[in-house]
Amino acid sequence: MKLNTKSYEEKMQKSIAAYENNLAVIRAGQANTAVLSRVSFEYYGSMTPITTMADIRVADAKTITITPYDATTLKAMEKAILASDVGITPNSDGKMLRLIFPQPTEERRKKLKKQVQKMGEDAKVIIRNIRRDANDECKKLKKDGQMTEDEQKASEKAVQDLTDKYIKMLDAVTAKKEKEIMQI
C-alpha cells in the first residue's frame, strides 16, 4: 500500500494560494485594491469589510477611489483605514475617499523585498511541515504493518518530489513579487 499523497498536495496548493493572497496585500507603490481586503469598520454594531460597503476602483496607477454605498459610512471608513496597516492617509471630499500611493523610496523597496522574502520562508516552513506530517503517516503505516519498507521509501520519495515542486513554485512567486517591487 502506497501513501495517498492527494490530500498533502491539496494542503500544499492551499498554502501557496494563501501566500499569494498575503503578497497581494503588500503595498508596492502601485494602486492595488487588495490592500483594503482586510480593512473593516463598524456598521450597525458589527464589523463589516469596506469592500462590501463601497465601490472601490483604481483611478490611475497611484490612486484608489472609495465611494461608499451609504454616504453616512464615509467617516467610519476613513477612521478604519487610518487605524489599519494600509499606511496611507485617505483624502476625503465628503462623497468619496482617495488613497494616493506615494512612490516608494529605495530604502522602502528594500524593506518590502525583505518582507516578501520572510513571508516566502514562512510559507516554505508550512510546506515542510506538511511533508513531515506525510512522512510521519508513512512511518505509522509501516509500524502498523500496512506498508512494507520499500513502499515507505517510495512514498517518502513521492512526498519529497511534491515538496520540491511546491518549494520551486514558492520561489517563483517570491521572485516575481521581488521583481515587481524593485521595478517601481
Q: Which long-range contacts (CB under 8 A, 24 or more apart) does 138-141 make?
A: 138/3, 141/1, 141/3
Mean pLDDT of the chain: 88
Out of 1.20.1250.20, 1.10.132.20, 3.40.190.10, 3.10.20.310, select the CATH number for domain 6-24+105-182.
Answer: 1.10.132.20
pLDDT per position as a tens digit, 33-76: 888 888 898 888 899 899 999 999 988 878 899 999 998 999 99
- Structure confidence at residue 184 (pLDDT): 63
pLDDT per position as a tens digit, 117-135: 999 999 999 999 999 999 9
- Structure confidence at residue 88 (pLDDT): 83
User: Domains of the chain: which residue ranges?
Assistant: 6-24+105-182, 30-100
Residue the block writes with cell 517601481? 184
Q: Is the pTM of this model over 0.85?
A: no
> Which overall architecture, per CATH, does domain 30-100 show?
2-Layer Sandwich (3.30)
